[in-house]
């Protein structure tokens, strides 16, 4: 970290009294570790520059929650180009795959990814054809396991993710553990392959092995629009959108896992960004109905969302049942077993779970 810089972050705080999301600019001065805050809407100083030992430079990254004088602030964006440039350039990217044998574990794996401090840049579920799998694993052509591997990889849906963090490539390989599931169980029992893998070839997850392969593999999955079929089935299903605040806060995996634990099948997942115009169209039914419509549009276009296709008998009604009342405070009292109640453990989580939506 350079000796004397001012880093700026856009942070949000849910004002529980007003039920409003308030935005501030949080500044961190690297020379002495002091912090300062500006109230964006009212264009005034909110917190004068002061020492705040509870915050260090390592705590400041997108999606992090920091507490300043009992306010839980979520870092939703960089506050200026300088900060963005300084912090993004040292981040590494890697491709992660959730293979067919672990597709149903996407919630648990996503949760582990967020808990390990990764940011998910892109994510989509898809089908590989046999030819796609052969191309992706071309470097293994001729090896004894090549046929079994490509047959397996095209045998069911998979999830591709772009993971971003310092040292993402090695960090993800450490989290997934040794290639062989049995070896993983012996040597790294808490690794993802140990927990969710099946055998030598069917090993739950993949990770790029170098910056060059990460580049090639990310391009393969994310820069060929329309090449891979989606996994959505479009029957017996409902749509669940995990909104930007939840995604940024890193609890999307826990929510997907809760949905699965409730007996639903999560058959498709895709991360995407809505423009303001698209968000306004998507939420149009609430226009003039809910007073917070504008706020909802703003939030919906405020960062990446995750769209899920969730399947079950009578999926729309069943999903609404397990999600519970819109307000998690009410959910805790009235329907303690619901997803909103379970994820409403504290103020921060409360506010995220209120932004989980389900609709047709």
Q: Tell me the catalytic residues.
A: 206
Q: Which of 268, 308, 300 is nearest to 284 (CA)?
A: 300
Smallest distance from ligand CMP to CB 126, Å:
16
Residue with tokens 């350039």: 89
- Show the tokens assigned to 296: 């909802």
Of the residues 5, 179, 236, 357, which one makes contact with ligand CMP according to CB under 6 A: 179
In the set 83, 94, 154, 201, which binds ligand CMP (CB under 6 A)? 201
Q: Which stretch binds ligand CMP (CB under 6 A): 21-29, 81-89, 199-207, 280-288?
A: 199-207
With contact defined as beta carbons under 8 Å apart, do 88 and 164 qualify?
no
Size of the site for ligand CMP (CB under 6 A): 8
Q: Identify which of residues 82 and 145 has a Cβ nearer to ligand CMP in the complex.
A: 145
Binding map of ligand CMP across residues 113-142, x = CB under 6 A, - = no contact = ---------------------------x--
Query: If you compute the radius of gyration of the chain from its CA atoms, what whole number of angstroms results?
Result: 21
Comparison of 150 and 358: residue with beta carbon closer to ligand CMP: 150
Laid out side by side, the sheet with 65-68 consists of 44-51, 34-39, 20-29, 6-15, 71-78, 65-68
Q: Tell me phi and psi for residue 54, to 5 degrees.
A: -70, -15
CB of 222 to ligand CMP, least distance (A): 17
Q: How far is the CB of 153 from ligand CMP (least distance, A)?
A: 8
Is 154 a residue that touches ligand CMP (CB under 6 A)? no
Q: Which listed range, 196-204, 241-249, 250-258, 333-341, lies at the site for ligand CMP (CB under 6 A)? A: 196-204
Q: What are the structure tokens assigned to 128, written together?
A: 């590989």
Which residues lie closer than 8 Å to 339 by C-beta, 6 or more apart? 255, 258, 259, 262, 322, 323, 324, 353, 356
Nearest approach in angstroms of CB 311 to ligand CMP is 27
| Contacts (Cβ under 8 Å, ≥6 apart) of 283 | 293, 296, 297, 300
Based on the shown chain and the rule CB under 6 A, indicate whether residue 206 belongs to the binding site for ligand CMP: yes
Q: How far is the CB of 123 from ligand CMP (least distance, A)?
A: 18
Nearer to ligand CMP, 203 or 338 (CB): 203
- Sign of the dihedral defined by the CA atoms of residues 153, 158, 160, 165, in that order: negative
Q: Does 149 bind ligand CMP (CB under 6 A)?
A: yes
DSSP-based three-state secondary structure for 105: helix
Q: Which of 145, 147, 272, 333 binds ligand CMP (CB under 6 A)?
A: 145
**269 secondary structure, DSSP code:** E
Q: Are 92 and 170 in contact (CB under 8 A)?
A: no
Between CA 130 and CA 233 the distance in angstroms is 20
Q: Which residues bind ligand CMP (CB under 6 A)?
A: 140, 145, 149, 179, 200-201, 203, 206
């Amino acid at each position: 970290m350079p000796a004397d810089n001012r880093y700026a972050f856009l942070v949000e705080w849910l004002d529980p009294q007003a039920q409003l999301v308030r935005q501030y600019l949080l500044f961190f001065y690297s020379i002495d570790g002091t912090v300062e805050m500006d109230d964006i809407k009212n264009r005034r100083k909110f917190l004068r520059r002061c020492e705040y030992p509870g915050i260090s430079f390592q705590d400041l990254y997108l999606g992090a929650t920091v507490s300043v004088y009992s306010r839980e602030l979520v870092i939703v964006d960089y506050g200026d180009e300088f900060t963005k440039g300084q912090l993004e350039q040292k981040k590494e990217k890697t491709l992660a795959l959730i293979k067919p044998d672990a597709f149903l574990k996407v919630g648990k794996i996503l949760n582990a990814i967020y808990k390990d401090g990764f940011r998910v840049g892109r994510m989509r579920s898809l089908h590989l054809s046999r030819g796609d799998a052969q191309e992706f694993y071309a470097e293994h052509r001729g090896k004894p396991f090549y046929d079994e591997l490509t047959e397996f990889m095209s045998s069911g849906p998979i999830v591709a993710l772009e993971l971003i963090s310092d040292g993402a490539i090695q960090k993800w390989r450490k989290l997934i553990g040794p290639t062989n599931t049995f070896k993983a169980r012996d040597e790294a029992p808490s690794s993802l392959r140990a927990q969710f893998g099946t055998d030598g070839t069917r090993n739950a997850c993949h990770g790029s092995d170098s910056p060059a392969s990460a580049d090639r593999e990310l391009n393969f999955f994310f820069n060929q629009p329309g090449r891979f079929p989606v996994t959505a089935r479009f029957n017996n299903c409902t749509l669940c959108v995990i909104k930007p605040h939840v995604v940024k806060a890193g609890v999307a995996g826990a929510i997907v896992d809760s949905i699965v634990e409730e007996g639903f099948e999560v058959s498709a997942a895709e991360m995407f960004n809505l423009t303001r115009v698209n968000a306004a169209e998507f939420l149009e039914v609430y226009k003039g109905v809910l007073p917070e419509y504008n706020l909802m549009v703003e939030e919906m276009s405020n960062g990446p969302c995750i769209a899920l296709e969730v399947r079950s008998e009578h999926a729309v009604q069943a999903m609404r049942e397990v999600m519970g009342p819109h307000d998690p405070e009410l959910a805790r009292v009235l329907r303690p077993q619901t997803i909103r109640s379970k994820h409403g453990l504290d103020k921060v989580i409360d506010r995220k779970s209120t932004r989980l939506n389900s609709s047709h």
